[in-house]
Chain A
Amino acid sequence: METSTRFNWRESVRMGLIAGVIALSLSLIGLVETFGGRDIIGGVVSLGQIFLFGAIMGVGYFSAQRNLNARAGVNLLGGLLIGVLASLPLVVLIFVAEPINLRQFLPNASPALLELITFGQEQVTGALIMVAVCGVLGLIGAGIYLLPSRLRRPLLIGLLLVLLIGLLSEIIILAWGNKGLGLKIRPLIFAAKGLSIRGALLVFLVVAGLNAAWSSQGDRVRQRLDALPSGQQRAFRWSSLILGLVILLFLPMILRTYLTEVIDNVGLYVLMGLGLNIVVGFAGLLDLGYVAFFAIGAYTMGVLTSQGDLGVGGMSFWMALPFAVLASVMAGIILGVPVLRMRGDYLAIVTLGFGEIIRILALSDFLAPVIGGAQGILKIPKARIGGVELVAPEQLYYLILGACLIAAYVSWRLRDSRLGRQWMAMREDEDVAQAMGIDLVQTKLLAFAIGAAFSGMSGAIFASKLSSIFPHSFNLLISINVLSLIILGGIGSLPGVVVGALILVGLPELLREFAEYRLLMYGALLIVMMIVRPEGFWPEATRKRELHGYEELEAKAVPAE
């Protein structure tokens, strides 16, 4: 059409202003300044700048994507305009912040932020640089979209890996950079803070090169794998599984203490995630009070084993563990019964209420004589295996790994069992499921009970890991964390839980600055995931179809042999 090839002013102006508002918000909520301290490429680019400029580039990219029919030059011009417009709110901020003392209203409009967005220059010079940089970035953003996908993919993935390695540089150096080979590689790639420029280029080239090679050769490898006889394919799958297990077994030795500690926390969330995955992912019951079972498991463990004033049983960890799990299961059933007849959103709110009730009760003076109120339960002993007390993160790792493997195995077997299929039928349509003869009461309660069992186990390990528990550890945010991680990983998908937990729990633990903006990002993530990947909400429906197709292939292949 004639109009579509012409330059779309209004659209570009609109997108530019949106980008500007985003950039301004990022600055004013303190994100840019807080992350400004973390250099990705030492002395050149910080994470804060990446957020700020990434947003502008992203809008440029997005707008080029929407403007598909336009000619390349038009798109680039649009990107430039977007970038320039996006810088305007920041320019206003630069000139306005000092005279009206913006800081008395917005604590984050600080001199440090101003220095960051003027690039350390005078106001006028800084503003001009800002306009120029933003314009170029908008242009680049639109330009990236215009590249053929053969080039675009390696480029983006290379940049992503540079970002990731730069982000984690401090930890990578801490874990591996001080001995032997690590010490030799370190000056090659890393600067004092973040990557060095040479290192960034190196990482980028290697990753982009590998990715380009894989995208040209990967199909052939996959085809050859698919062409193998089914017996060999199975052997291949088994051997990769065993290889994965071996890596998991030796992980603490590779990761060293600090990273193992982080992985331990990730593992506790994986355990909870697997549980919630059954309730939300398999059975489709949105449970926002999931932390209640975690709390019940932890408190049962605490009360039964504590050597402090509140301990009653004086049991060992292993003696108390079944009781902790049992208590959570009972709680799951007791909380499950009243909500059996509720659906969807009502269920979410009621379970949220339950979670809060448990927390308030744990905090109240009413139950303080039993579970300590705000003072919590102290002196919870560690688990022992044959005289060895599991204290160090490396030792606890194996306990958590064991629990996760059991939970993953149970989930995996349940998913394709009769019960799993009942859950999925119920999730798709309750009325139809009931008409098909599925006992809704039993099916729902089993989902709640099994989900609660995993969470209770996680809570019990958590209690013995920390040796003391306080009601404040069991707030609603944990439920939201767990929900976010299973949504990120793909609801109903088991590997998804692990990936989600690594990203949403592991990353914030490694980067202290994240703590403050964690929930802001989770919130944005939930919204973006639901809008951009709505089909991600039921990913295994498609996966199931894939599996069925695969089975049919196998069924054909077997008689032929």
Chain B
Amino acid sequence: MRQRFENIDYLGVILWLFRAVIIVAVIWGTIATILNNPYSTENWIDFLVFGLAQGSLYALIALGYTLVYGILFMINFAHGEFFMSGVFTATVFVAIPLNQAGYLNRYPILSLLGITLVAMVVSMGIAILTERVAYRPLRRAPRLVPLITAIGASFFWQYFFRGLYGSGVTAFPTVDILKGKWSIGGIEILKAQGVVIVASVLLLIGLYIFVMRTKTGKAMRAVAEDKDIAALMGIDVDRVIVITFATGAALAGAAGVLYALLFRQVHFFMGFIPGIKAFTAAVLGGIGSVPGAALGGLFLGMFESVGPSLFLEGLGIPAAYQLKDVIAFTMLVLVLIFRPQGILGERLAEKKA
């Protein structure tokens, strides 16, 4: 018995207490909110649908992190900027001129596809350039080195596009067919949110097929498993890495357009916070795992959307929506402490992190 006391891991106890405090606070807040019941059912459904829409965006961005991390074990800090660059360029050069010419509302689907295509191509271009210039020379360097480069790349691109398109917030033109609501089984859904959810799910399925069913996807998985052996099997590792970056960036570019449809604005800083949150989502789902990233994104989006009203207001915190970013970051910390492998991930934390 005494032996056991002497072996107590104080750190473990502190962390356990930390977890207990958070769980108690969440449960307490939730019960208090439910007892007060300040919101109607419609409100909750709105929160959930919005969370789902936002979560599917996080999922799309998170895939970029997960794919790159799976192969290079590197957090591509600049991924949020890939997301921003595509949609910012597409808005300035395609969406706004199309809207001025009236094409956007005359041929909305075609125009939106065009905008998305441009955004995806630009994001891919930026990603390939970044990989070539900033990451490839450092492939064998100690792990902190590429991370610092990635931080540098992130700020470089932010302020590059700020210089290029201006520092203000640019409005994304409204698309008439996305105004209003759909009614599905008695639930009212904003059309823009519905489109975001459906498009994201389609893209996620597309990616899953790409990774699991195509030869390139197979090569990607092989490189993720073991770079050296993959090279011995005749796989061009550099090419696969570029393809991985490009794939992630293409999804991020598409996510950017969906983000613009949802929030109707673009600016140079728009990639940063969604980028960090998407990283949180990737960690939450288990970094390196494609379905995990999707699941983590959806989960985080809903948690963030429902959370402030559900358990922070119950604790008597005023203007709780201001703290939704705090929820996401706290969740990141909690996941990394207590379940670093995430919901679906293999156990990476010990081995590779």
Contact = CB atoms under 8 A, between A and B. Distances in A.
Q: Do A and B come from one complex?
A: yes
Nearest to B14: A337
A372 to B, nearest CB: 15
Interface string B130-165: 000110011001111111110111111111101111
B329 interface: yes
B48 interface: no
B152 A361 contact: no
Contact residues on A (Cβ < 8 Å of other chain), bracket: 35 or more
B160 A25 contact: yes
A366 B141 contact: no
B322 interface: yes
Interface string A334-371: 00011111111110111011101100110111100000
B15 interface: yes
B131 to A, nearest CB: 12
Contact of A344 (B18, B147, B156, B157): B147
A353 B276 contact: yes
B330 A530 contact: no
Contacts of A245: none
Contact residues on B (Cβ < 8 Å of other chain), bracket: 35 or more
Given A107-B165, A337-B14, A523-B155, A353 B148 contact: no
B145 A534 contact: yes
A530 B145 contact: yes
B326 interface: yes
A527 B151 CA distance: 8
Main secondary structure of the interface of B (DSSP, over half): helix
Contacts of A28: 163-164
User: Of A288, A341, A363, which is in contact with the most chain B CB atoms at under 10 Å from its CB?
Assistant: A341
A354 B326 CA distance: 9
Contact of B155 (A286, A343, A360, A520): A520
B118 to A, nearest CB: 13
Contact of A525 (B14, B152, B279, B280): B152
A520 B156 contact: yes
Contacts of A228: none
Given A357-B326, A366-B322, A522-B155, A31 B141 contact: no
B21 interface: no
Nearest to B277: A353
B151 A480 contact: yes
B353 interface: yes
Interface in A294-351: 337-346, 348-350
Contacts of B133: 527
B231 interface: no
A127 B89 CA distance: 28
Main secondary structure of the interface of A (DSSP, over half): helix
Contacts of B144: 284, 286, 344-345, 537
A547 interface: no
Interface stretch (B25-33, B257-265, B331-339): B331-339
A491 to B, nearest CB: 9
B23 interface: no
A428 to B, nearest CB: 10
Contact of A360 (B151, B157, B323): B323
B14 to A, nearest CB: 6
B35 to A, nearest CB: 21
A238 interface: no
B288 to A, nearest CB: 13
A345 to B, nearest CB: 4
B152 A365 contact: no
A30 B159 CA distance: 11
Given A357-B329, A480-B151, A480-B155, A343 B160 contact: no
B105 to A, nearest CB: 20
A436 interface: no
A425 interface: no
User: Of A106, A356, A366, which is in contact with the most chain B CB atoms at under 10 Å from its CB?
Assistant: A366
Contact of A366 (B134, B147, B317): B317
B8 interface: no
B300 interface: no
User: Of A31, A487, A526, which is in contact with the most chain B CB atoms at under 10 Å from its CB?
Assistant: A526
A116 to B, nearest CB: 16
B325 interface: yes
A366 B11 CA distance: 30
A436 to B, nearest CB: 20
User: Of B74, B280, B333, which is in contact with the most chain A CB atoms at under 10 Å from its CB?
Assistant: B333
B178 interface: no
A108 B93 contact: no
A499 B11 CA distance: 39
B1 interface: no
Nearest to B348: A346
Nearest to B315: A366
Given A346-B353, A525-B152, A527-B153, A337 B15 contact: yes
Interface in B162-177: 162-166
A105 B155 contact: no
B151 A526 contact: yes
A345 B143 contact: yes
Contacts of B74: 345
B353 A517 contact: no
Contacts of A527: 133-134, 149, 152-153, 156
Contact of A342 (B280, B325, B336): B336
B231 to A, nearest CB: 23
A341 B337 contact: yes
A519 B283 CA distance: 28
A235 interface: no
Contacts of A523: 151-159
Given A350-B332, A519-B155, A530-B138, A363 B148 contact: no
User: Of B75, B151, B158, B325, which is in contact with the most chain A CB atoms at under 10 Å from its CB?
Assistant: B151
A223 B146 CA distance: 40
B276 A349 contact: yes
Contacts of B147: 286, 344-345, 348
B319 interface: yes
Contacts of A483: 148, 151
Given A352-B276, A523-B153, A523-B155, A29 B323 contact: no
Given A286-B148, A340-B11, A350-B336, 10 more contacts: A29-B164, A349-B276, A354-B329, A356-B325, A366-B319, A366-B323, A524-B156, A526-B149, A530-B146, A537-B144
Interface of B: 11, 14-15, 18, 74-75, 92-93, 133-134, 137-138, 141-149, 151-160, 162-166, 276, 279-280, 283, 317-320, 322-323, 325-326, 329-330, 332-333, 336-337, 340, 349, 353
17 contacts: A29-B162, A29-B163, A342-B336, A344-B143, A349-B75, A353-B333, A356-B325, A361-B326, A364-B322, A365-B319, A366-B319, A483-B148, A487-B148, A516-B163, A523-B151, A530-B148, A531-B138
Shortest 8 CB-CB distances between A and B: which pairs?
A526-B152, A29-B163, A523-B156, A353-B329, A523-B155, A520-B159, A365-B319, A527-B152
